[in-house]
């Protein structure tokens, strides 16, 4: 059974700092890994999707890496801004027939002006 863990559970940083969010998963037989952000009371917004054959994806100030063999992904946010404050979720889709999606519980990020 796939399990996804995100560390830290919460993070508070001053504006302008670079930061790293971590995601680990127990079953390396994955199809893809996706990072989302969720604002309070809102749905999820997709940030980056990494296919199992890829090592990383970049979008603006965000960079996500994937090390399938060690069961880890990181989300790097450069030059953080108060608007980055949200909960960041990692989701892993298994390969194989069912392609079940498993989410982590998220990292709550607060960027202080």
HEC letters along 52-72: CCCCEEEECCEEEEEECCCCE
Preceding amide of 8 cis, omega within 30: yes
Among 91, 107, 109, 111, binds other proteins (CB under 8 A): 91
Please choose, from the candidates 99, 105, 101, 113, the residue with its C-alpha nearest in 3D space to the C-alpha of residue 34.
101
How many residues interact with other proteins (rule CB under 8 A)? 24
To other proteins, the closest distance from the beta carbon of 72 in angstroms equals 17
Q: With binding defined as CB under 8 A, does residue 26 bind other proteins? A: no
Q: With binding defined as CB under 8 A, does residue 61 bind other proteins? A: no
Among 11, 19, 44, 62, binds other proteins (CB under 8 A): 44
């Amino acid at each position: 059974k796939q399990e996804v863990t995100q560390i830290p559970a919460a993070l508070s940083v001053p504006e302008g700092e670079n930061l790293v969010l971590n995601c680990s998963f127990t079953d390396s037989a994955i199809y893809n890994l996706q990072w989302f952000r969720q604002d309070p009371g809102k749905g999820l917004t997709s940030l980056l999707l990494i296919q199992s054959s890829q090592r990383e994806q970049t979008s603006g100030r965000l960079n996500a890496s994937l090390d399938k063999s060690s069961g880890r992904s990181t989300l790097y946010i450069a030059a953080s801004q108060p608007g980055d404050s949200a909960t960041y979720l990692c989701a892993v889709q298994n390969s194989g027939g069912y392609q079940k999606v498993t989410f982590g519980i998220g990292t709550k990020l607060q960027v202080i002006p």
